[in-house]
Chain A
Amino acid sequence: MQRTLIRLFRFLPLGVLYGCMALVIPFYMLFGKGFRAAYGFFRKRMGYAPVKAFTHVYLNEFEFGKVVLDRFAAFAGKRFRMDAPRIDLFESLCRRPEGFIQLSSHVGNYEMVGYSLKSPKRLNALVYGGETATMMENRAALFGETNVRMVPVSEDLSHIFVLNNALADGEIVSMPGDRVFGSRKTVSCRFFGEPAQFPAGPFVLAVQREVPVLVVFVMKKGRREYKVILERLPRQTEGTRQERVQALADAYAASLEDVVRRYPDQWYNFYDFWK
C-alpha cells in the first residue's frame, strides 16, 4: 500500500490525494479511537463551542492526513519549501564544537525538515521501532542526503550509548519531548493550565551533559510549504539537578503550548495527554 502511494505521487498532484483524504476523514472520526480525545481537547483546552470543536476535529484529522501524505510525496521526490526565519539559531549552534539536543514534538511535521535541510553537523534522530520497512528505507534514503542518522530505541539500551557518544563528539541528538518511551520517568509541567507528564529523558540528558537545547516545530503553511519555528530554551545554571531539569521541561512545555495554541489543528496526540 505504501509503495503504491509513493508510485502514485510520482504522477499525481498532491491536491488530488488531499481531496481523496478529505472524503475518508469522516470514517476515521466515526471509527477511530482518537475522536473523543481530540474533541475533548478542542472543547476543554481550546474552549470551543460544540460545533466548532467538532469541525476542528475534522480539520485536525485532515491536517494529520496531509502530513502523512506529504511524507510519501517527499519519498516520491516532491519537494517542499521550508521557511525558517530563525535558522540562524540552528546555524550558530552548529558552528560551536559542543553538541546540542534538538527537541521535536507531535505537532506539525517535524521530519520534513530532515528531508529538506542539510545539517552541517550529523543529526542523530532517536526513532521508535515499529515503522514499516518501506517507511524506514525511504526515510534512510532521504536522510542520507541531509546528514541525519536514525537511532532506533533498542531493548539492550545501545541507543543510549549512541546518543551519549554523539553528544560527546559534538553532534546533534534529536528526540521527541512530548512522548514517554524508553524510560518511564516523567516530569510534571503545567500545560494548558493543568499538570501533564513529559518524558524526563531529554531534559535530564541536556542537564547532565550541559548542552544547549533547541526546540523545532515544522508547521504546514500551504500545500507545498512549511514554516520552521525554532526556539532555544533558556538554560538554568543554578539550583539542584532536579530543579534545572524541571526548569528546562517547563520551558519546553510553555513553548509547545504556545505553538499548539497558534496551530491547534496540527497537534497530533490523539489521546488524553493529561492522563
Chain B
Amino acid sequence: MDINQIQEKVNAFLVDELEIDEAKIADDARLKEDLGIDSLEVVDVIVLVDQEFGFKMRPEQFKDLKTYGQFCRFIEAQVG
C-alpha cells in the first residue's frame, strides 16, 4: 500500500466519521490543535488503524505523532 492509498483511507475516515473539514487536512496540520483530534477521537484512530491497516497501535507510538503527515508516514512504515 503506498502513501496515496493510505492518505485516501485516512482522509475518508477523518471526513466521514470524525466530520473534520477536508480543507483543514494538510501534511503539517497538527492532529490535536488543527484537526481537533483529542483523547475522544484517539479511540477512533486506534480502531481505524486496526481495521483498515491491520495492526494495533501502542500508546508510546501515538504520543510521538503530532501531525497528519507524520501519522500517514507512520502507517506507511508499519504496513510497508
Show the binding face of A for B, using Cβ within 8 Å.
156-158, 160-161, 163-164, 182-185, 200-201, 204-205, 208-209, 241-242
Stretch from B1-9, B20-28, B42-50, B69-77 at the A interface: B42-50
Q: If A156-B63, A161-B57, A161-B59 touch, does A201 touch B39 (CB 8 Å cutoff)?
A: yes
B59 & A156 in contact (Cβ 8 Å cutoff): yes
Contacts of A163 in B (CB 8 A): 43
Q: How far is the CA of A183 from the CA of B38 in the complex (A)?
A: 6
Question: How distant is B52 from chain A, measured CB to nearest CB, in Å?
Answer: 14
A205 & B43 in contact (Cβ 8 Å cutoff): yes
Contacts of A156 in B (CB 8 A): 59-60, 63
Is B55 part of the contact surface with A, judged by Cβ < 8 Å? no
Q: DSSP class of B's interface residues: helix, strand, loop or mixed?
A: helix
B38 & A184 in contact (Cβ 8 Å cutoff): yes
Q: How far is the CA of A185 from the CA of B59 in the complex (A)?
A: 21
Question: How distant is B40 from chain A, measured CB to nearest CB, in Å?
Answer: 4
Question: How distant is B6 from chain A, measured CB to nearest CB, in Å?
Answer: 21
Q: If A161-B57, A161-B58 touch, does A183 touch B39 (CB 8 Å cutoff)?
A: yes
Is B17 part of the contact surface with A, judged by Cβ < 8 Å? yes
Q: How far is the CA of A209 from the CA of B44 in the complex (A)?
A: 9
B62 & A157 in contact (Cβ 8 Å cutoff): yes
Q: How far is the CA of A201 from the CA of B42 in the complex (A)?
A: 11
State which of B19, B44, B59 has its C-beta within 8 Å of the C-beta of A157: B59
Q: How far is the CA of A18 from the CA of B30 in the complex (A)?
A: 53
Question: How distant is B10 from chain A, measured CB to nearest CB, in Å?
Answer: 17
Contacts of B46 in A (CB 8 A): 160-161, 164
A157 & B63 in contact (Cβ 8 Å cutoff): yes
A182 & B47 in contact (Cβ 8 Å cutoff): no
Contacts of B59 in A (CB 8 A): 156-158, 160-161
Q: How far is the CA of A161 from the CA of B62 in the complex (A)?
A: 10
* Closest Cβ neighbor of B19 among chain A residues: A242
Q: How far is the CA of A158 from the CA of B57 in the complex (A)?
A: 11
Contacts of B58 in A (CB 8 A): 161
Q: How far is the CA of A29 from the CA of B57 in the complex (A)?
A: 49
Q: How far is the CA of A105 from the CA of B69 in the complex (A)?
A: 39
Q: How far is the CA of A185 from the CA of B40 in the complex (A)?
A: 8
* Closest Cβ neighbor of A165 among chain B residues: B56
Q: How far is the CA of A164 from the CA of B43 in the complex (A)?
A: 7
A185 & B43 in contact (Cβ 8 Å cutoff): no
Contacts of B57 in A (CB 8 A): 161
State which of B40, B47, B62, B63 has its C-beta within 8 Å of the C-beta of A201: B40
Q: How far is the CA of A146 from the CA of B41 in the complex (A)?
A: 31
Q: How far is the CA of A201 from the CA of B38 in the complex (A)?
A: 10
Question: How distant is A162 from chain B, measured CB to nearest CB, in Å?
Answer: 8
24 contacts between A and B (CB under 8 A): A156-B59, A156-B60, A157-B42, A157-B59, A157-B62, A157-B63, A160-B39, A161-B46, A161-B58, A161-B59, A161-B62, A163-B43, A164-B47, A182-B38, A183-B38, A183-B39, A183-B40, A200-B40, A201-B39, A205-B43, A208-B47, A209-B47, A241-B17, A242-B19
